[in-house]
Amino acid sequence: MYACVRRYAGNADFADKLEGGYSDIYHAARCHFAMSVRKTRERLRVGRALRDLPRIEKAFIDGALSYSRVREVTRVATPETEPQWLDLARQLPMRTLERRVAEAGGRPQQDARTDEPADVGWTSPETLEVRLHLRAETWALLQRAMEGARRLSESETLLSDGTASKVKAAALAAVPGGTIIRVETDSAGSPYEAHVQKADGTIVTVKIDGSFNVTRTESGLGGGRPMSADPTNA
């Protein structure tokens, strides 16, 4: 892939040079390497930069530098500063290198932390496939969050019919001008709760007892604070 990118990087009219009937290098990259347009575009940028950075390119080809390090330093290295950036790429921990690149005028560090986090591809008009690129600890946190959401959804049931109407009426009385998002049973103490969007766009959760009296409100989707004396200030 690198040889292909290196050859055609910076050439605006290379479609006719690609064998196999590909419309462009993005088409070829997707067919041969299952690479997204964004990933291919990034590698083209690296390839263009390396044309003027022979020392960094050699270190990359020889295996002395990983692609992630080359990707970072090519954001800021010039022919004049190439020796310094090559030394930094060899010596610094990756996160420190990212910070140095950001400080030198490269992309913001927070973007580097989440570079290309996901590949999304439609498998049909109704479904899509998402491939995530996450650190192990991030995946562990995501798994715990999904499991918590699953348990919560199993313990809360959407309300309907007369009960739902009474819960909605109580919630809207507590939050005038609000819009009901959903009403459901509550797994955390109160028999019922309503998620309401206030007129200013913020979300509150209204807790309601078995007699359909509001007992408290919580900011967001729950986890909250007691209802204020004036419910409209919830």
pLDDT for the residue numbered 21: 65
**Domain chopping of the chain, boundaries:** 2-113, 161-233
More confident residue, 91 or 111: 91
Q: What is the pLDDT of residues 95-114, one digit of tens each?
A: 889 888 888 876 544 444 44
Mean pLDDT of 6-23: 54
Dihedral angle of Cα 71, 75, 76, 81, to the nearest 10 degrees: 40
pLDDT for residue 13 is more than 60: no
Q: What is the pLDDT of residues 180-216, one digit of tens each?
A: 988 888 756 678 889 899 888 888 999 999 899 999 8
Cα distance between residue 82 and residue 65, in whole Å: 14
With a pLDDT cut of 70, the percent of the chain lying above it is 69
Q: Which two tokens stand for residue 26?
A: 């993005």
This prediction's pTM: 0.43
Q: What is the pLDDT of residues 66-90, one digit of tens each?
A: 999 999 999 999 999 999 999 999 9
- Structurally, at CATH architecture level, domain 161-233 sits in 2-Layer Sandwich (3.30)
Of 53, 56, 41, the closest CA to residue 9 belongs to: 41
pLDDT confidence bin for 10, thresholds 50/70/90:
very low
Mean pLDDT of 4-32: 61
The number of beta carbons lying within 10 Å of the beta carbon of residue 171 is 27
CA dihedral for 76, 79, 80, 84, sign (positive or negative) = positive
pLDDT for residue 173 is more than 90: yes
Q: What is the pLDDT of residues 141-168, one digit of tens each?
A: 888 888 766 666 655 677 877 888 999 9
